[in-house]
Structure 1
Amino acid sequence: MLVPTRDRPDALAVTLTGLAAQSAPGFRVIVSDQSTAPVREEPVVAAAIRILEHHGHPVEVHRHVPPRGMAEQRAFLLARADRPAVLFLDDDVWLDPHGVAVLAHALGALECGFVGFAVQGLSYRDDLRPDELVPYEEWRHGVRPERVRRGSPAWARHRLHNAANPLHLARKHRRDERSWWAYKVAWIGACVLYDRRRLVECGGFGFWPRVPPRHAGEDVVAQLRVMERYGGAGLLPSRAYHLELPTTIRDRDAECYDYVIADEGP
């Protein structure tokens, strides 16, 4: 479990206690801390760490400063991972207790590069957006590699993850007792389980020196690359819930896509 964090100790504590309640055994947690004050010294975070360790999950908290952008922070975390699968989980996401187990099972069953839960904001649970649900399409015969680029029809899939759209999609498309099913995505933010070897093979987040320190969309670049070679999928119903706090990345003028993907050939 790879968790980047910066100046949100209360949210991080919620995220970590959500991990402590997971039914899946045998994982460890690595936190990259770029907070103004060391986050491990915050009582709520220290308590959450003790709970995780009490449940048999080792926790590493790395003080990783100065900040050099999210791509570099994710590259730092990935370099410290050694398990076959890595879950990048943002510090403002609560996972259902079976979330990790479902992700791990789906990644093995689908044999693709990544799977993920689009986070849903439950304050929007009554905000139905039919137009944004139009690009939805399930993977019915296995996940296949696909090339997704800005301006293509597949790019419109990013709207599927706005507000509480994952909740509404799950309600609309559940037809049987399936515990999960896969659908096509443009990318997924905040809760993504990768096949580590395949992510590294596709470059991971090693492009970080090519982008300005203040940037956004680093996960988009990584996922487009993995998807093109190995495929990727979203899972429904989503078991990830957004805490709906203000973003810590306020400057979004520099999109990693423009510095990395836009210049790549076919």
Structure 2
Amino acid sequence: MTTLDILIPTCDRPGALAATLTSLTAQTAQPFRVVISDQGERAATERPEVQTALRVLDLHGCPVEVHRHLPRRGMAEQRQFLLEQGRAPYVLFLDDDLILETWVVKQLLGAIRRERCGFVGSAVIGLSYRADVRPHQQAVEFWEGPVTPETVRPGTPAWERYQLHNAANLLHVQERFAPTPEQTRLYKVAWVGGCVLYDRACLEAVGGFGFWRELPEEHAGEDVLAQGRVMARFGGCGVMPSGVYHLELPTTLPNREVDAPKVLEV
């Protein structure tokens, strides 16, 4: 059994999914297992660009499991389904519209093993904002000692940490403090979007994404709520440098009126 399962929810983004999977083929921390849950109108894995990336992963000894998971019941249920397919001690939830540097997975695994916390994440960077420097959104709190549990809720000062993950703020900060993977720094977060590695036992201990039954089908923030609950019991952090870049496509979840951490308890 591999140490890591990479769990990818996808919906009608075959080109983006192919780019994300191609990034995985170049990761130095192989082998791992990839599980895809596809809720698109047409199966993305039928597209040749996706099939090729999957074949390369298989060539590298990384088994791939693809599920057509329908009907749609919202992102929290989609993530819970993926979690239930997990078998490895670590699970990396990875969005389907990202490009990863070759060292990202190895860095995340190293960080979570050292800290023995609930999650570590590489926040995504929008490179179209590279020239948009926002000093007022670049406050950072580093973990100088071990990562420990903390409760972060909407409306608290710690919640404002999210601003560091806007635009390309993280890129500008890491250029000063952690420009290479050999200079890894861990920092305090409100949450991390897109690329988050969990200790599977910790995520399951807080119920995973089982709260999907308490939410309407159209919702957002399910990853934020799950991370908040893990962080409160086991601790969590961001990893710098990130090495994860957003394709900056339109969201597939336009209705964001119901924000999970604002309607359910962290």
For normalisation by structure 2, the TM-score amounts to 0.96
Please state how far the C-alpha of 1:107 moved relative to its aligned partner.
Answer: 0.4
Match of 1:179 among 179, 183, 186: 183
Is 1:239 matched with 2:204?
Answer: no
Alignment of 1:53-202 (within 5 A): 53-134=58-139, 136-174=140-178, 178-202=182-206
Please state how far the C-alpha of 1:38 moved relative to its aligned partner.
Answer: 1.2
In structure 1, stretches of 5+ residues that fail to align are: none
Structure 2 partner of 1:229: 233
Q: Distance in 2 between matches of 1:123 and 1:19?
A: 22
In structure 2, stretches of 5+ residues that fail to align are: 1-5
Q: Distance in 2 between matches of 1:13 and 1:20?
A: 11
Q: Distance in 1 between matches of 2:36 and 2:99?
A: 16
Please state how far the C-alpha of 1:39 moved relative to its aligned partner.
Answer: 1.3
Q: Secondary structure at the match of 1:12?
A: helix
Please state how far the C-alpha of 1:177 moved relative to its aligned partner.
Answer: 8.2
Please state how far the C-alpha of 1:209 moved relative to its aligned partner.
Answer: 0.5
Q: Distance in 1 between matches of 2:181 and 2:106?
A: 17
Contact 2:98-2:244 at 8 Å conserved across structures: yes
Q: Distance in 2 between matches of 1:164 and 1:217?
A: 21
Paired amino acid for 1:222: A
Q: Distance in 2 between matches of 1:154 and 1:256?
A: 18
The alpha-carbon distance between structure 1 residues 175 and 96, as it changes in their structure 2 partners (threshold 3 A), is: closer
**Aligned pair count?**
261
Structure 2 partner of 1:253: 257
Please state how far the C-alpha of 1:137 moved relative to its aligned partner.
Answer: 0.4
Q: Distance in 1 between matches of 2:79 and 2:170?
A: 25
Structure 2 partner of 1:210: 214
Contact 2:122-2:239 at 8 Å conserved across structures: yes
Q: Distance in 2 between matches of 1:198 and 1:259?
A: 22
Contact 2:138-2:170 at 8 Å conserved across structures: no
Is 1:3 matched with 2:8?
Answer: yes
Paired amino acid for 2:78: Q
For normalisation by structure 1, the TM-score amounts to 0.96
Contact 1:30-1:60 at 8 Å conserved across structures: yes
Alignment RMSD (CA, Å): 1.3
Structure 1 runs of 4+ aligned residues shifted over 6 Å read none
Q: Secondary structure at the match of 1:32?
A: strand
